[in-house]
Every structure is written in structure tokens, then in C-alpha cells.
Amino acid sequence: FGKEAWRGWSLVQDAPSFEAIQGTITHARTRSEGKDQVTDVGFAYTIDGTRYEGDNHATANSYRDAMLASRDVGRYSVNQKITLYVDPHDPARATLSRDVPAARALVRTVYAALFYGIAIFSLITYVRSRKRARVLAHARELERQRQEEFEQRRLSRKQTA
């Protein structure tokens, strides 16, 4: 989840400097994410004899209306030639457009931060509660030993008196 958020946010930052190349659409469909319909477009391209594949997962458009999502995906068809934009420093990074929607990337980044924040908070709380439980158990044991010693002293005083 965090990786997808970072991938989307870094594309927002870097995409304007990507170079245009020709690629091919490998799939174009919509998928459900809760109540939303999300465009899912895959593509392939070759640079210096190496074939790369990518998708729009980090930058996909999200729609509440399935018809709008279908219309967006309808712009693409399998084996369609298309201009892609590739990172000149890392050819494995590519996108369908230099205009990456920052809002979606930002939302994913916020969700990732919340998710990992809650996970870290939960872990810290769990560790603290376990430590507290160990301290309380040790305190109970010490109190039990103190009570036993007290009882033994009391009994020995009774016997000597």
C-alpha cells in the first residue's frame, strides 16, 4: 500500500521530465475498489531491446459512475499503439500521461501514512501493555513473597511465645 502511494507521488513529481516513446496497450478494463470504479490500463514498450510492462495503477482515475469509468477505458484497446512517457533515468518507470493526477496520489499517500501510523501506534501500545503486564506480574509475585515471609514470621513468633 505504501509502495503504491510512493510510486504515485514520485510520478507526480517526475513525470513532467519523462521522455515520449511508442508503446502498446496490453489490457484496458475497469475494476471495483469499494464503491468506486477504477480504470486499469496496462501497456508494454521496448527500450534498447529490453521489453518493459507497466500500468496506470498509481495514477488511475477513479469514478463513482461505472459508465464514466467504461468511457475512460474505452479510449484504449488491446494492441493499440500509444505514446507513453518513460523516465530516462529508470526505463522501468512509465506513465500514460505527463499530467499525472496529483489528488489521487496525495490521497493514497495520506491513506498510507494513516495506515502505517495506526499500525505503529498499535504495535507500540501492544509492546507497552505487555511490558506493563510483566511489571504487574512481577509486583504480584513480590507481594506474594512478602506475604509468605510475613506469615512465617508471625507463625514463628506464635511458636516462640
Query: Given a cut of 70, is residue 1 above it in pLDDT?
Result: no
Percent of the chain with pLDDT over 70: 80
Mind listing the pLDDT tens digit for each residue in 42-74?
999 999 999 999 887 655 677 788 888 888 888
Do 60 and 38 form a contact (C-beta atoms < 8 A)? yes
The region of weakest confidence among 76-85, 101-110, 136-145 is 101-110
- For residue 61, give the nearest of 1, 118, 6, 101 by alpha carbon: 101
pTM for this entry: 0.55
Mind listing the pLDDT tens digit for each residue in 29-48?
888 888 888 888 999 999 99
Angle at CA of residue 40, ends 25 and 116, nearest 5°: 135
pLDDT value, residue 71: 86
**DSSP 8-class letter at 99:** S
3-state secondary structure of 78: coil
